[in-house]
Chain A
Amino acid sequence: MPAGDGVYRVEVDGRMETVYVAGPPHDRWVFWNGHIYRGDFRESGPSPRRTERTTGSQTLTAPMPATVVTIHVKPGDRVVKGQVVMLLEAMKMELPLRAPGDAVVAAVHCREGQLVKADTPLVDLN
């Protein structure tokens, strides 16, 4: 959960850790426990498949190991760009998964309460 300007409190194995984040998304500066990380974290590691497309069919995936908290859509629903299609939780932080563009939900590959691994396909959009 955010705990002030650039400060994030994250739970790891029941222990709270403080992470500091600054800088624009393509050039992040991150501090945790005396370690400094810098980079464009949008493309590295267990993150969702990047796509420049905002229309057409695509699959939304989990950015990291997470729990599916609520699913707001079912197959056949129309969604608009920016609409939250489901809410995930990872390390006590909520991560809303949003539609990248106007689309129709083709399939939902998970259920509420399910633990999903990084890069697991969650929703197909058409």
Chain B
Amino acid sequence: MIRRLLIANRGEIALRVVRACRELGVESVAVFSEADAFAPHVAAADRAVAIGPAPAAESYLAIPRIIEAARASGADAIHPGYGFLSEAASFADACAAAGLIFVGPPAAVLARLGSKIEARRVAAGAGVPIVPGETPVDQSNAGIRQAITRVGLPALIKASAGGGGRGMRIVRDTADVDAFIDAARRESTAAFGDGTLYIERLIEDARHVEIQVFADRHGHAVHLFERECSIQRRHQKVIEESPSPAMTEALRARMTAAAIAVARAAEYRNAGTIEFLLSGHEFHFLEVNTRLQVEHPVTEQVTGLDLVRAQLLVASGEPLPWTQDRILQRGHAIEARIYAEDPEQAFLPQAGPLLLYREPRMPGVRIDSGVVEGGAVSVYYDPLIAKVIATAETRGLATAKLVAALRDFPVLGLRTNIPYLLQILTHPQFARGAMDTGFLDREGATLVHAAGDEIPAHVRAAIAVASRQSPVPSQQSSILNRGARESWDPWGR
């Protein structure tokens, strides 16, 4: 069993792994950049190692520095979390070369599934339907144009190494196709160092439904049911849930069987997610996420299983702690991601101090977060502040619980998407479960809380009371306050 685990990540996922370590009696080692010296994940871990300057390329993405931190701290394994190096075959290779256990699939699997083109080949080989498409051998604009013609419009230009919507373009009209090809190639080369493109038929009005899978080296492969992640803004998931409102028993049986088939064909190990596009009762393989997902708590809540614990066991070479017939899906769980972003300013990421940050405490509400009051959100990393996961008997009750939790979750000092999340969760179409991946982009502005809303009188009253009290106990604010108080008025403001 792993004895001392280095966590090559930060924020809420680093804290999530630290907690799993504590429960298992595994020592945890945090790594941190100069921007994160006082971050909660550093304080929570048993040990912490500084790995470099604030920019991720010089710290959380710097493979030699992380391997060196593992060596210096005597760690025998590395958990990559999600993002950063979690899907980098070169990182898994470096771990193996240093004699460290990489908590994830082997490097060869990462490399194979990391190529979207190769992943499609694996799925097709396993008899799983893939989105109609083509990878032009001729990668010139002419070659790609011909592939688009053969696949048919509307089409998607996608990057083989892509992810998160980068290097992706929708083509509805052949007129402007060259500009799109150039842009996709540029973006993909810049983001992933690989400009290889392929063409897929654009399936519109589809849902994003994914299957959580888990496999060990002893020949076991299981699924942990589905998650519905159709509520996305520009390919970034915002709200996830399980079960999917579109799921039937028959469809679930077909989709989970397909997911297991892909996992087996890829010789998959550890936790992974097989993503599908679902329209009606037809589904098509999209890609494999070769890591723990941001939205994994949704699955943990409906199955009652601990995915991180299982990751550590499987990485240690032990068999999966569950058999398929003992994995059950019970009740309904919904997760909302709280981001430091301003919906009223085109979702611009926000940095700033957390002047006031109070997580709600309610039965059935789980909060995975990586910040504390008095801390700050920096410009350097992902703007995810917290995930709020509500669990109840039914979808309606889970939604109501999540709404109540978000209405009682003050985050002050920087803009967040909390009002936007509430608009989505109280939208009649969401309540009916009638959503597809185009929902947010289509609804767009109607979900964004209008600026300059009338402030209720009782809110004004509270502000007035706050104003006659002593300055807020933040150092910066006290200084500002003193200046403001020079001009005196009857209300002590």
Contact = CB atoms under 8 A, between A and B. Distances in A.
Contact of A32 (B406, B422, B449, B459): B459
Contacts of B362: none
B465 A52 contact: no
A31 B411 contact: yes
A26 B492 CA distance: 12
Interface string A81-111: 1000000001101011111110000000000
B418 A42 contact: no
B175 interface: no
A24 B480 contact: yes
A99 B422 CA distance: 43
B430 to A, nearest CB: 15
Contact of A22 (B355, B416, B418, B460): B355
Contacts of A41: 455, 460, 463, 467
A48 B489 contact: yes
A12 B458 contact: yes
Given A64-B460, A64-B464, A22 B412 contact: yes
A91 B458 CA distance: 7
B249 to A, nearest CB: 36
A37 B455 contact: yes
A66 to B, nearest CB: 9
A90 B412 contact: no
Interface string B449-478: 100010111111111111111011110010
Given A19-B462, A25-B481, A96-B468, A34 B406 contact: yes
A115 B180 CA distance: 66
Nearest to B425: A34
B407 A34 contact: yes
Contact of A24 (B411, B459, B465, B477): B477
A65 B457 CA distance: 9
A116 interface: no
B464 A95 contact: yes
Interface string A38-82: 100110011110111010000010011100000000000000010
B407 A30 contact: no
Q: Which of A21, A27, A90 has the most CB of B within 10 A?
A: A21
Given A20-B358, A64-B457, A65-B457, A54 B488 contact: yes
A80 B457 CA distance: 31
A112 interface: no
A93 B455 contact: no
A24 B472 contact: yes
10 contacts: A20-B356, A22-B472, A28-B463, A41-B463, A42-B467, A42-B489, A45-B455, A63-B491, A90-B461, A91-B461
Interface of B: 355-356, 358, 403, 406-413, 415-416, 418-419, 422, 449, 453, 455-469, 471-474, 477, 480-481, 484, 487-493
Given A6-B412, A19-B458, A37-B455, 10 more contacts: A6-B466, A12-B458, A25-B493, A28-B463, A42-B467, A42-B493, A60-B490, A63-B464, A91-B457, A96-B468
